[in-house]
A and B are shown apart, each in its own frame.
Chain A
């Protein structure tokens, strides 16, 4: 009755968790959220946050190539027309031919003389302007110029807006954007959504491809789509593909193994209960603690919980016809509890790292392991009868002398150590090698970004202040200095937020340079001599210029209410209580030349950030912390085992296989030419947990031949299934998964072989009650 109640309560709790997850679970896929935060550098943190969540993250870049330029232009125009109709998906479709809706900018019209560079107000300058307008009118532009001629004959406002578009767009051919070599037509799309949403992005990419195909392009014309969203979608697809393959291998392998080793498929279902419960509870607890679960935590966490499958394996292999399942379990429970408990505390040690990703992983794994242990101990035995599983036991029993064991230990230890020492590489320092994005996708993205003249994010100058105008003033100062770099042709372009919104000081200066109405009237009168324009037609303009002299400078909010907001926000935004300005440079000829110049200009250098280098520095810090935590975990495990075994000798022999497994897990990726990154270190946690489990069981008190067979049976099945499944990952094209696969498969094999060969199970002693 009591056991039935336990099962009922257990089922109820699981049902509640399940319902909670259905309603609340939020899985986030943004790799940036798993990455370390630049806590010590709020400006950099602000920029990274803006890059990950700002408008840049929802942009799609398109290149159409492999056809004649006029054909490409035609495709570009037709594709734009098609995509514009999909306004539920695309917020903006640009290819250089789009016109501005002047009404959307009307609010800024009175401020045109404050926003633009100074005009020529002399009578000769104005004469040239009016002559040009005459040519425009005779060319049929009268309908377009319309009333603008009477309010802005210099077309200052049009030039200001066109200048901003030119600044942010590539060169044009046949009326649409082309790359510098004029071989590809280019487009820039903005997908709806404040931040990158993968399903929406997938839908947008599909729509672009479908529309292009429906245009029946020439067989040679090709379409390429790139952007952060494309990389994220491709990465997700690659990860899903590998995970499906891995799942298939695991399921098939487990079915074969369970049918052969336990003569029962039902046992497979029963064995999956602790693991399934562990995942369910781990998800619920992580969601409760953090309000979301990162997809990387999900993948790594579930992999780490793979150790949970070992608990029922040990249980099933130790079933005996002369004992009830509860009695069989109770016999191995102290070892299970020690192994599981140590792993739980080990994972909890990650909590103090200060990195959100590691903290989530820690809570996920620890709560999962507690659940799996509890389900194995308190639920599973009550669902079994003593004769329902009859393990097909096997064993290869080897017992070496102490000296031989020392020799084997040295060989097993030295093998990975030699491989590690001989390797030319060790720590991974490049962020690209860690990124799950394939190199080809990254190169395509970089290439298109360059062609579209999108300001590079790799070289930026960061400015911050509590006051927005101070940021604008600083950005004007930096821009002025950077012009020297442009003159030296070390860079080809500068992008600064003050080009859209000048500081109040600059706006006041421009106001001061505006002529009085009297002066302007006189100059206009002189300028119109010999031209067919009537002086009276420009009276309104003279008055408007006069009004401009008294206007308050334009502020951030005024720009924000226009379509220029998207461009401005890329370079000027508020993060927490600070205004952050980003000045970018493009077309860097040589990094070395840029750095040399910066060395001579310390005032400019103080704001300079090389994003790639800064991110790599952050990642190295992340890896360092994870490595330190791993060391702490190993030490912690050593202390726990020492306390439980009360023998240094036993502790060494129990931990030695774990150490060999970890070294093997490090050596294998190095052997395959992959340097160690943070994900390898995280994968080592699984090796650690399972290795300890193997070692504790192999070193259990010697209970005779049957028990030797039982433990070998359970551990060999675990090692075989785990290393085979992770071997699938080892050959994945996604570096993160490949690293994890190489580390786990080799680490587990190392643990198994060393635990088995070095095991020295004690004869009955004080340990019997303990392990």
Chain B
């Protein structure tokens, strides 16, 4: 490789390379607004086949998520602070995240990562961060025992590509994110 080209490649990638979790989180914390689409797959022992839902996700710092499930049934979920607003069939239900630990655990993981809030993340989870080139994997194990056993975030550079939540009873939820979502 041409030496000058190599320098340019390095300069272009410094923003997406992070050797440590702190660096990775620091990069994420600079993102203020994100948007993309997702496919979520729910696998469970009581199902013959996985359940799939699709829709759009958006994030606005600090801490505001919007998840719109478009298929098969329209549902809108907005997360603001400690509350999740679930709208379905014209009715909105508000759930306090602190009251729904099993629902909240995945949201806390994603929010802490996107906000770059390392202290909060490490308070809630034991973490294991690894990186190969621009691909990285962050494994998060809840410190307080609950239904979720392990949350794994897969990403490339400043993209989160997949969020996998494994539950103690063998159930799992995989959210695959595409386009510029959550970069």
Contact = CB atoms under 8 A, between A and B. Distances in A.
Interface of A: 77, 97-99, 134-135, 137-144, 146-147, 149-150, 174-176, 532-534, 537-538
A175 B173 contact: no
Interface in B150-183: 165, 167, 169, 171, 173
B47 A143 contact: no
Given A175-B83, A534-B46, A534-B47, A142 B173 contact: yes
A139 B86 contact: yes
Given A138-B42, A138-B53, A175 B48 contact: no
A150 B46 contact: yes
B161 to A, nearest CB: 19
B99 A99 contact: yes
8 contacts: A134-B51, A138-B51, A138-B53, A140-B40, A142-B173, A143-B102, A146-B147, A532-B51
B69 A97 contact: no
Contacts of B148: 143
A137 B51 contact: yes
Given A532-B49, A532-B51, A147 B94 contact: no
B34 interface: no
Q: Is the interface of A mostly helix, strand, loop or mixed?
A: helix
Q: Is the interface of B mostly helix, strand, loop or mixed?
A: strand
Which bucket holds chain B's interface residue count?
Answer: 35 or more
Closest 3 CB pairs of A and B: A175-B94, A537-B46, A99-B99
A147 B168 CA distance: 11
Contacts of A175: 83, 85, 93-96
A750 B125 CA distance: 83
Nearest to A538: B46
B72 interface: yes
Contacts of A533: 46-48
Contacts of B93: 175
A98 B94 CA distance: 11
Contact of A139 (B46, B73, B171): B73
B75 interface: yes
Nearest to B71: A138
B100 interface: yes
Identify which of A99, A140, A144, A147 gathers the most chain B CB atoms within 10 Å of its CB.
A140
Contact of B42 (A137, A147, A174): A137
A174 B103 CA distance: 19
A140 B73 contact: no
A137 B49 CA distance: 13
Given A146-B102, A149-B46, A534-B46, A174 B94 contact: yes
A97 B88 contact: no
B99 A97 contact: yes
B29 interface: no
Given A77-B83, A138-B72, A532-B48, A97 B94 contact: yes
Interface in B38-78: 40, 42, 44-49, 51-53, 67, 69, 72-73, 75, 77
Given A138-B72, A175-B93, A98 B147 contact: no
Contacts of A98: 96, 99
A97 B171 CA distance: 28
Contacts of A140: 40, 53, 67, 69, 75, 77, 103
B106 interface: yes
Contacts of B49: 532
A144 B69 contact: no
Given A175-B93, A175-B96, A147 B48 contact: no
Interface in B91-142: 93-96, 99-100, 102-103, 105-106
B111 to A, nearest CB: 15
Contacts of B42: 137-138, 142
B75 A139 contact: yes
A134 B102 CA distance: 18
Contacts of B167: 143, 146
Given A99-B96, A139-B88, A175-B96, A534 B51 contact: no
Nearest to B165: A143
B99 A144 contact: no
B95 A143 contact: no
Given A143-B103, A534-B47, 18 more contacts: A97-B94, A138-B53, A139-B75, A139-B88, A140-B40, A140-B67, A140-B103, A142-B171, A142-B173, A143-B106, A143-B167, A144-B100, A144-B103, A146-B171, A175-B95, A176-B94, A532-B48, A533-B48
A455 to B, nearest CB: 26
A664 to B, nearest CB: 64
Contacts of B72: 138
A98 B100 CA distance: 10
Nearest to A134: B51
Nearest to A150: B46
A143 B51 contact: no
A143 B103 CA distance: 6
Contact of A138 (B69, B95, B96): B69
B73 A147 contact: no
A533 to B, nearest CB: 6
A464 to B, nearest CB: 39
A138 to B, nearest CB: 5
A141 B106 CA distance: 12
A139 B148 CA distance: 18
A616 to B, nearest CB: 44
